[in-house]
Amino acid sequence: MRTIALPRAHLQIFSRIKGNFIPYLLTGFLLFLIIIPLARLVLSSFQLGHPAIPEGWTLQNYLTAYSMPLFYQALGTTVVISAIGTLLTVAISVAFAWLIERTDMPLRNLAWALILIPMAIPGVLFALGWALLLAPKTGVLNLMLRSAFDFFGIQFTEGPLNIYSVGGLIFLDGLRGVTTVFLMVVGAFRMMDPTMEEAARVAKANGRRAFFQVTLPALMPAILSASIYSFISSMESFEGPLAIGLPGGIFVLSTLIYFTTRLQAPLDYGLGAVFGVIYMMMMLVLLAGYRRIVRYSERYSTITGKGFRPRVVSIGKWRYPALGMFVVYFLVTVGAPFVILLWASFLPSYRVPSEEALSLLTLNNYLQIFSMPRVGAIVWNTLVLMVLSATATMLLAFFVSWVIVRTELSGRGALDAVTFFPHAVPGIVIALALMMAYLSPPLKYLGVYGTIWILGMGFIVSYIAFATRLMNSSIIQVQKELEQAAYVCGATPTRTLLAVTLPLIFPAFAAGWIWVAVHVLRGFSIPLMLSSKNNQVFAVFLWDFWDRGMVSMASALGVLLIVVLIPLTLIMRRFIVKVSAQER
């Protein structure tokens, strides 16, 4: 093919951005959005009193925190739940990634689609569903187990299982992270060169030996990075510990912050800030380890660049048991909690399933929801927040990633670090930092606190790290020559980005937009910390009913939320498939 040489001026086109104010504007905006609230959080940890009227500088908050037995208990519980939960998550995720991508398990394509559905069930609803199933006295499954044990002459007054325990929190945590880790490792299984496994079989290694001695070691860097990511996510967990841990008297770091700044009397913002700073420092150490492992894993590529189709491994008589394992997982993560919430939503007040309760089924809860005057405003707040947060996050990530990938700006490394930094900050700490910043002068005069805008800022900060990683990898795959050709034709940088680059990476952009939108809809920690009567959203509205003991109304709201989230999740899967096809 004949190539056309572009003028030198156009080959140097990307150096023009050095004189453009946009990169500096982006950096300033991100510093304002991310760094200033976190800096305010650190300062508040050295102050007593309300953030709006601080009482001077002191180390008393740190002395109080480090002398509290509850702090060490919460810290230990957080680490134990996260560590064991991560082991469970990774084991399930890796097993399903291998079964779906590399074996002849039946209905693999359907399993690939269904494994995303748990993302449509918010963590708070997953916890509430299992609270109804495994409550010590009234849990449906516990009642069934007690009846079974009675048949054998073994009697329990309650239980035998108790979701309000550390074991219950590990169970919830281990299952909730499977979808994310699966998505992180499934690509590695798909793109691994099968010649390594074939060589093992030539050497007369059986399937199990080849898997454990060849496949797993080859993919270990990817699995290890996904494991650390999963551990970070588990450390940030809030919904389960709030709904399950607090009623059982179990604190983790996230619920300790919430209790200190929102529940206890009097509220102690300074002490809560100390817990937030300690929490953030721990997560930064984990994030540094994660980035180190990701860089290390890049040295061990198993994708050769040769055209190949991954070899499907026959698992013989284990094909249907493997499918059965997936069905059990799906029933536990989606089927059981959704069915019990659906059941509760049709009752005037919650009762365990029985013939008598069947006669009480009604649609009144749903009719009451749609007749509430507040519902319209809450739904509007939620939809506006979802659309604006997802759009702002992805557009900001798109422009930031273009600057990072395409320009020679000297500070682009710092820009990249600033956008990745929030990944180390749990949602509860982001919310606390924003609260401290916008309750304190001078930012309190902007009047942002108590509005929907502060919720949007919280979600943008929370998800900008994911969005920029996605955009970075997508823009890298677009050849510079396409943008250079647009410049040669007289297009401005902005028009080139919007008319050339964005359409080429649109599947990734759309997948990211839906991912952010889904997480905003199901988001809980940021709205709960920053909500007021003027900016309440659907998830907080739902929690208010549960917190007041109105289980049936909370369940009806939860069912409606799940019904909205499932189609969005399936649409996101279609874009993920398109992105994967482009990367091949």
Question: Which amino acid is residue 54, in one-letter code?
Answer: P
In the structure, what pLDDT confidence band is assigned to residue 340 with cuts at 50, 70 and 90? Answer: very high
Mean pLDDT of the chain: 85
pLDDT at position 44 over 90 = yes
What is the tens place of the pLDDT at every residue in 247-295?
Answer: 999 999 999 999 999 888 889 999 999 999 999 999 888 888 777 776 6
pLDDT: which is higher, 234 or 487? 234
The SS3 call for residue 47 is strand
86, 224 Cβ separation under 8 angstroms: no
What are the helix (H) ranges across 346-372? 355-358, 364-371
pLDDT at position 372 is 92
- The DSSP 8-state label assigned to residue 533 in this structure reads T
For residue 337, give the nearest of 54, 39, 554 by alpha carbon.
554
pLDDT at position 568 is 87
Which residue in the block uniquely carries the two structure tokens 């304190």?
440
Return the ∠ at Cα 522 (arms to 390 and 82), rounded to 5°.
Answer: 110
Tell me, rounded to whole angstroms, the distance of Cα 457 from its chain centroid. Answer: 17
- The DSSP 8-state label assigned to residue 168 in this structure reads H
Report, as an integer, the average pLDDT of 313-322. 88
In the structure, what pLDDT confidence band is assigned to residue 14 with cuts at 50, 70 and 90? Answer: very low
pLDDT at position 413 over 80 = no
Domains of the chain, CATH where assigned: 13-44+368-584 (1.10.3720.10), 70-337 (1.10.3720.10)
What is the tens place of the pLDDT at every residue in 205-245?
Answer: 556 666 666 677 777 777 887 888 889 889 989 999 999 99
pTM above 0.85, yes or no: yes
Q: Which of 104-108, 488-492, 514-518, 526-530 has the lowest mean pLDDT?
A: 488-492
pLDDT: which is higher, 132 or 421? 132
| Distance of alpha carbon 311 from alpha carbon 309, whole angstroms | 6
Alpha-carbon dihedral angle through residues 272, 274, 280, 286, given to the nearest 10 degrees? -120
pLDDT at position 519 over 60 = yes
In the structure, what pLDDT confidence band is assigned to residue 45 with cuts at 50, 70 and 90? Answer: very high
pLDDT at position 13 is 45
